[in-house]
């Protein structure tokens, strides 16, 4: 696999890299994307009809059970070579920040230490009333009740029509404007406002590297477009960059 020499040089010179990931990265671990067709008992539902505050108020049992089903689909998923390559990048670059739209927790499981989960984490729960965090399965009752106020627990994810957590968004924007290199990996470029981050990085003069099997609107702002699966491209890219420098086993900057 051949890569542009200036991309390899930029990787080795970078002190801070931001890695923005979407559902395509999780799909390589066998996790269905939100846009995949529902199956089994859920074939007659759409994600857009279930992942909303209104749906939870109207029918909390159905929404909770749908998320319980989704958790089961993810339970045996493991980090794939893309997750592992991103985590390994921390041994080569001074700072690597992962900004993800995915809710499965696989970046942390792979070993990435700075992960901003823009859309939350499906394994966590919060109270729909007091917003306090609570164990995901605190009781047999469906949905479980909040141990703090007795309200109903819901998955700690961002639903359609809800804003992202302000602190996560501000951190993501700050990292996007400061990164020496901004990777955009496996995202459809359709979900806003998260999809604006690569454009924001580019507007701040940050080189954007697009990694995706298919073309998206981010191709137009990317300095480098790498077409293919992240699990194939990222390990090869990082190996090529540091093998060429003779530094495959250590950081580029002490």
CA distance 206 to 210: 13
- Under a CB-based contact definition with an 8 Å cutoff, are residues 87 and 109 in contact? no
Q: How far apart are CA 194 and CA 143, in angstroms?
A: 29
Active site residue 170: no
Kind of pairing, strands 95-100 and 16-21? Answer: parallel
**Residues 6 or more apart whose Cβ sits within 8 Å of residue 187:** 20, 21, 22, 23, 24, 101, 194, 195, 212, 216, 218
CB 93 within 8 A of CB 113: no
Selected catalytic residue, list 83, 119, 218, 253 = 119
- Tell me the DSSP string of 70-111: HHHHHTT----HHHHHHHHGGGTSSEEEEEE---S-HHHHHT
Residue 175, CA distances (Å) to 14, 32, 57, 64, 158 in order: 14, 28, 36, 34, 21
Catalytic residues: 119
């Amino acid at each position: 696999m051949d890569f542009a020499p200036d991309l390899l040089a930029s990787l080795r010179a970078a002190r801070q890299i931001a890695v923005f990931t979407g559902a395509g990265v999780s799909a390589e671990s066998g996790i269905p994307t939100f846009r995949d067709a529902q199956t089994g008992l859920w074939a007659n539902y759409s994600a857009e009809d279930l992942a909303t505050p209104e749906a939870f108020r109207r029918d909390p049992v159905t929404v909770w059970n749908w998320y319980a089903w989704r958790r089961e689909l993810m339970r045996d998923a493991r980090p794939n070579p893309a997750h592992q390559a991103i985590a390994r990048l921390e041994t080569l670059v001074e700072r690597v920040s992962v900004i993800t739209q995915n809710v499965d927790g696989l970046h942390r499981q792979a070993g990435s230490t700075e992960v901003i989960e823009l859309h939350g984490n499906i394994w966590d729960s919060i109270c729909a009333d007091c917003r306090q965090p609570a164990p995901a399965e605190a009781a047999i009752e469906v949905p479980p009740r909040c141990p703090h106020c007795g309200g109903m627990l819901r998955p700690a994810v961002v639903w359609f029509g809800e804003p992202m957590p302000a602190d996560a968004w501000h951190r993501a924007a700050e990292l996007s404007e400061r990164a020496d290199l901004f990777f955009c990996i496996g995202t459809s470029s359709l979900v806003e406002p998260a999809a604006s981050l690569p454009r924001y990085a580019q507007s701040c003069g940050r080189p954007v590297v697009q990694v995706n099997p298919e073309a998206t609107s981010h191709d137009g702002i990317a300095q480098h477009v790498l077409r293919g699966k992240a699990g194939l491209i990222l390990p090869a890219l990082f190996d090529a960059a540091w093998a060429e420098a003779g530094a495959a086993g250590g950081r580029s900057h002490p």
